[in-house]
Structure 1
Amino acid sequence: MWQEVWNCGGRLLSSNEDTHKKPGDPQNKLKDMCLSFALFKLLRLRYASYSLPQEAHENAWKLICDGLLSQADGYERAFRVVEVELTFLFDFFYTKYGIIFQPGWLLIELMELMGIAMGIWATTSLLKHHNRPNSNCRLTTMPNGLSVDIVVTSVMIISFIIMELMQFFFMCFSEWAKVLWIGKYVLKKSWQGNVWIEKMIEVICGVQLLKPWEQKLHQYSFLKSYFYKSSWLLNNAIMAVFIDQTRDGQKQGSSIKLPIEVKEAVLGALKGNYSRKLDNGLTSLRKHNVFQLSWACQLETQTQVILVWHIATSFCEQRKSEGLDLTRCTNFLVATSLSKYLAYSVAFAPWLQPDRPLFAEYEFNLAIIEAKKFFRGCKGMENQLEKMEKEYDGSSMHEETVIKRGSRLGNRLVNGINGIGDEEMIWKILADFWVELMLYVAPSDNVKAHAEHLAKGGEFVTHLWALLFHVGFERKPSY
């Protein structure tokens, strides 16, 4: 269906690339919406535990790599397609749009509107009948003369009418309605060229309602939060029935707007991965000729890898950012943003990690205990950094805790590797590492967890998960 949309000759779906004087879809948003709907149907198979043939992954790879990402605004456009796709998925799980927009939906909605009209008429009739001077109604009345029964009934009917009207409004401007109108426009040649119909569809498609994802990137800093202990008023057996319990060290930082630099870095790495296999950072280290740091990628669990590199990145952030113009250093922004986001996922969303959730929670809790012991007596970030520098002894990595391994790695980066002491080069190494690790974490098998996070506002990793599913990328075997 989306191919017919792409080849439609109507003005409504014309873009800047076409010959029309005034294109109706200059940024291809309407076409991309139909593409998102087609991809949503494939993603729905993933939730039903079905797999796609290799040919489908190849076609999706060509579409995304050679199509969307080949254009100037390709990174933004690719994320927009996935964002709308997940909007359809959210509606499929948490609304009734998937059922409402079936053949005959218009007749059903007309019947609902008739019910609303009858409700308005019934409410008006009840009030008029009660206010008649010669009424024989002897129901209990209020001080102002109004009947309690009539008031309660009227309020309930009016509330129902308001809810129905709001539901009808949101339904009329939902992504499902937009795709339906565009599909009818493509199929009915008489609509193409009709100014009034084109204007109506253009207005409907131009209304943007709230979406499940606010394009926020959650952040968490281990070194700034390891000492946090939640209040006993919220963390007790009684409150556990109503809210999730907060563990020691779980103090979430302020979320940031997803930087465009992060989108470009992640999708750029995806586009350049010709092997179609995802590595946990070793490829980036080999590319920069710093493979001696590979020990930090070959730990017992991926949770340890994330925490060790996060601690090292935080150490570099404090020691190797003084001479940088942070407003212009893209690599610094990419490295620190993804480092704190993956640390957040370990602390608050372990079910989205490659490790089993219980293992991830155990590793995080153990790291918090180790950090409290390691930093005992330290006051402030500066004392912590001095402790990390002082206690670093270069002992065997098998004898070190997560915090000591992070200190070891951070000192290696700060003091220079292979003669590399330049701040910008260090941040380039870290940025490429975190981008590669971000892609490695994304293809989770826990599809239920991604669906649940859509209801909570969505996650950046869910967008990458959907994208990687379509192109068929897989992780390399663990070490």
Structure 2
Amino acid sequence: MAGGNSTISGCSDAALKQLSSQITCDAQMVSSFGKSMGEKMWRVNALQLASAILAGLIVGIGIYGQRYRHHRFTRFIFLGATTLFLPVVSTVLSMGAGSNAYALWRHDSPLLSDAIPILFFGYMKQQWSQETSHHGELTVAEDAPPPLLVMGEEKRHVEKQPLGYVFKDDSWTTSHNNGLVTIDRVWRLDNMLPTSTLKPQKNLCFSFALFKLLRCRFARYKVTNNAGSKDALSFFWSLLLKDDQHDRVFLVISDELSFLHDYYYSSLPVYYSKYWLPILGIFISLLCIACCVLLITMLVRLVATEGYLPQIFCSVFCIQEQLVSNTWGEYYGSWYLDLVPVFLLLVLVMMAEVRDIASYICSNWTKVALICHLVHRASSQHSSLLKKRCIGRLLRCRCRVMKHWDEKIGQCSILEIRPSTTLLVPLRRLLHLPDQKKKVKVPAAVKVCIMEKLRSSRNGHLSNGTSCLRRRGQIGERLLWACNNKSTSRTILTWHIATSILEVRYTHLDDEEQGSSPVSSTNYKIAATRLSRYCAYLVTWCPELLPDDDEWSGSLYEDVKKDAERALAGCVAGGSLTPEAKCQHLIELLAANAKHEVLKEGARLGEQLVELMAEGDETAVWKLMAEFWSEMILHVAPSDNLKGHKEAIARGGELITLLWVLLFHAGIISRPGEEDVVAATSAGAV
């Protein structure tokens, strides 16, 4: 044994090297090793790229998709990316960990506040008490607004009373040198900035004041008629509900909803709690952008100097009978595949920071803060011209990414003359999804008709279309039967079917552009058809915002839709028939094949409307339809479903939510008779 040991220990290094050189590696084994390493590298690189894409989806949807991340599909993508991100990253890390049958190392590289609504509510109560102490009724005009609060109430000394927090003193009624910024002070800034710059910002401050009042509604305070302020209610009507002011009305309310959206679904209100927080945020964003630019520059310089570098260098050798063969090196992968995810993430971070900077500079919150700053400095004579110019430019900044409501409304139709034949139709039915929708921009004709109808409802009387019918005398009386349903959804679908029949009869109006005259047939048809399809969209997509039970409304739409598809199976969709013949053919098919009562009633009503068109003025009938749908959308808008409207605001906003807020500020918070029903129900429960 000893001799054997001495023989082995006496072997020279040269002899061992000679023996090692004589050992040969199996070619198939070496090929298999190289193939497995190549596959593993591609798998790691693919997972790295997937992790970068998932991170991009998470950050992109979270930052840029505020309107869309509450939709079903976008929410599914966002949650899926969030769920898969950590497992993918963990898999990438684990693939390089643990013991292996070969030596492996990475190539070294030189770079590897809730009390404000209660404050505000008490302030409105104080204002109401001051108004009632005056003799006679106050006259409020556009140039003399009431002192609605914009900013500064959080700095005042308050005390708690039975109806909420109120100011300890009444100095706000006699002097404005108390830190409060009110709408009447904003209206007196005409000498500070050009009118073209200041007028939109006045409306924005008014939206901000209304937003604070709307927060009281969401906080479940009993707020009616602008918290009891007669001046605020009178100012709202005199300022907004004038001729040719429909765009201004919609802009003020949409800005108000954008403030509400930011308050509940973004961090902007937190940043604007202190004046220096936005400045700090911009500084941090600029610092992050500078770091990203520096890293990208260094990576580009490294690529230019180093050229191609592998991701992994392996020393390969074979072992045979405890002897090791000579080693040789193998390179796998390219470090460009490591750099691609890094570049993507750095670019994504830069885009996110740029968006944050834009949100600070172009945000409506910034503009309101600047206007309030001007109000505080209005009495000072030391404001430089350069400072005013800088503020004016900031106030004119706009960013489409920051826009909350896209001014579009959903459209659905029960009577599809050319039904879709794609695979999505049976899939939607199998999964019990709502009817397919499309969105169109809200036409000016729709806004005009709604505003005209709202002006005639200042007394708070909202009808489901019966008012405009009764005003037409005998012609309207013939159609009242279609409004006698106790179900709002059933009435909507009946009139929607009838409106769709009229569309088939008068298709020639589709080729005309929207007329400049508000009394043209084209404008009335646009208003009637867009509102008809939007109400049908509400029945199937947003039934919770309607008066009826949402599940019942959705099932009613599906039943009528299926019956309409069955009844119209033989409808001629070609262009050989004239519009009159096509309309008559449609009515005959519905009358003969319809089984659902709503479909039968819709066909009957459509036939009556076609007869009215033949008997009288075409414009008058389309005007009647536009008035009916304007009354209907205003009738269904008031509601106490705060949760439903809050979810709609999170999705980007709905026209019915905008009208709900508009009616609230106009002093209309419920449908006729609804308060009595609620009171009777509450009394019965007690």
Same fold (TM over 0.5): yes
1:308 Cα shift? 0.5
Corresponding residue pairs, total: 449
Q: Secondary structure in 2 aligned to 1:218?
A: strand
SS at match of 1:475: coil
Check conservation: 1:11, 1:193, Cα contact below 8 A: no
Residues 1:206 and 1:191: Cα distance change in structure 2 (over 3 Å): farther
Distance 1:87 1:232, change over 3 A: closer
**Deviations for 1:119-168, whole angstroms, at most 9, x for unmatched residues?**
4699599989x99x9xxxxx989999999999988986775455334312
Q: Which residue of 2 aligns with 1:95?
A: 266
Question: Shift in Å at residue 297 of structure 1?
Answer: 1.0
Q: Structure 2: how far apart are the matches of 1:113 and 1:252?
A: 39
Q: CA deviation at 1:458?
A: 2.4
Following the alignment from structure 2 to structure 1, what is the Cα–Cα distance between the partners of residues 270 and 392? 24
CA distance change for structure 1 residues 159 and 374 in 2, over 3 Å: closer, same or farther? closer
2:647 aligns with: 452
Contact 1:420 1:426 survives alignment (8 Å): no
Name the CA shift for 1:320/1:166 in 2 (closer, same or farther; >3 Å).
closer
Structure 2 CA distance, aligned partners of 1:283 and 1:32? 33
> Does the alignment pair 1:203 with 2:390?
no
Q: Give 1:383 deviation, angstroms.
A: 5.9
Cross-structure match for 2:433: 246
Aligned to 1:10: 191
Q: Equivalent residue for 1:105?
A: 277
Structure 2 residue aligned with 1:46: 217
- The match for 1:212 is 404
For the 8 Å contact 1:225–1:251, the answer to whether it is kept is no
- In structure 1, the partner of 2:206 is 35
Cα offsets for 1:294-343 (capped at 9, x unmatched): 22112141111111101111112222565999544222222122112211
1:342 alignment partner, SS class: helix
2-structure distance, mates of 1:151, 1:90: 36
Cα distance change on mapping 1:124 and 1:196 into 2, 3 Å:
same
Contact persistence 1:181–1:201 (CA under 8 A): yes
Greater Rg by CA: 2
**1:355 shift after superposition:** 1.3
Question: Could you tell which deviates more after superposition, 373-382 or 59-68?
Answer: 373-382
Q: Where in structure 1 are there 5+ consecutive unaligned residues?
A: 16-22, 134-138
Change (3 A) 1:434 1:162: closer
SS in structure 2 opposite 1:213?
coil
* Structure 2: distance between partners of 1:215 and 1:76: 11
Greater alpha carbon shift after TM alignment, 332-341 vs 119-128 = 119-128
Is structure 2 residue 505 aligned with structure 1 residue 313?
Answer: no
CA distance, structure 2, for counterparts of residue 124 and residue 293 of structure 1? 71
TM-fit CA distance, 1:180: 0.7
CA contact (8 A) 1:217 1:258 kept: yes
Q: State yes or no: 1:408 paired with 2:600.
A: no
Bigger relative contact order, structure 1 or 2, given CA contacts below 8 A and separation 6+? 1
1:220–1:251 contact (8 Å) kept in structure 2: yes
Aligned-partner Cα distance in 2 for 1:305–1:224: 19
Q: Deviations over 1:22-71 (max 9, x none)?
A: x643xx1010010011111111222222231446364443223212223x
Q: CA 1:191–1:201 in structure 2 vs 1: closer, same or farther (change >3 Å)?
A: farther
Counterpart position of 2:416: 224
Residue deviations 1:195-240 (CA, integer Å, cap 9, x gap): 2122112111212112122222332222117955773698389x96
Determine the C-alpha separation between the residues in 1 that align with 2:442 and 2:207.
21
Instruction: Specify whether residues 200 and 476 from structure 1 end up closer, same or farther in structure 2 by C-alpha distance, changes over 3 A only.
Output: same
SS in 2 for 1:223: coil
The answer on whether the counterparts of 2:285 and 2:356 sit within 8 Å (CA) in structure 1 is no
2:468 matched residue in structure 1:
284
**Cα distance in 2, alignment partners of residues 6 and 391 from structure 1:** 58
- Shift of residue 375 of structure 1? 2.8
Segment drifting more, 465-474 vs 345-354 = 345-354
Q: CA-atom RMSD, angstroms?
A: 4.0
Tell me how far 1:446 sits from its aligned partner. Answer: 2.7
Q: 1:8 to 1:315 in 2, by over 3 A?
A: same
Q: How does 1:71-470 map to 2 (within 5 A)?
A: 73-103=244-274, 104-106=276-278, 108-109=280-281, 112=284, 116=288, 119=291, 160=349, 163-189=352-378, 190=380, 193-210=383-400, 211-224=403-416, 231=423, 235=427, 246-247=433-434, 250-253=435-438, 255-289=439-473, 290-320=476-506, 326-327=512-513, 328-329=520-521, 330-380=523-573, 385-389=584-588, 392=591, 401-416=597-612, 421-470=616-665
Shift of 1:175: 0.6
User: CA deviation digits over 1:351-408, x for unaligned, max 9?
Assistant: 2222121011011012123223433433338667425247649x9xxx9611110111
**How far is 1:173 from its partner?**
1.4
Contact 1:140 1:149 in 2 (8 A): no
Counterpart in the other structure of 1:67: 239
CA offset at residue 106 of structure 1?
4.5
Aligned equivalents of 2:344, 2:500: Cα separation in 1: 57
Question: Secondary structure, in 3 states, of the residue corresponding to 2:479?
Answer: helix
SS at match of 2:416: helix
CA distance in 1, matches of 2:447, 2:406: 15
Greater alpha carbon shift after TM alignment, 402-411 vs 337-346: 337-346
Q: CA deviation at 1:432?
A: 1.0
Distance in 1 between residues matched to 2:508 and 2:353, nearest whole Å: 58
In 2, distance between residues paired with 1:283 and 1:341?
21
**In structure 2, how many angstroms separate the alpha carbons of the residues matched to 1:147 and 1:413?**
69
Question: Equivalent pairs: percent with the same residue?
Answer: 29
Q: Cα–Cα, structure 1 residues 228 and 149, in superposed 2: closer, same or farther, change >3 Å?
A: closer
Residue type of the alignment partner of 2:532 = S
| One-letter code aligned to 1:386 | H
| Conservation of the 8 A alpha-carbon contact between 2:218 and 2:642 | yes
1:234 and 1:370 map into 2 onto residues whose CA distance is 16
- Name the SS for the 2:269 alignment partner: helix
* Per-residue Cα deviation, 1:254-307 (whole angstroms, up to 9, x for no partner): x33222121111111111213212111111111111123222112141111111
Residue 647 of structure 2 aligns to a residue whose secondary structure is: helix
Amino acid aligned to 2:385:
V
Structure 1 window deviating more from structure 2 (283-292 vs 55-64): it is 55-64
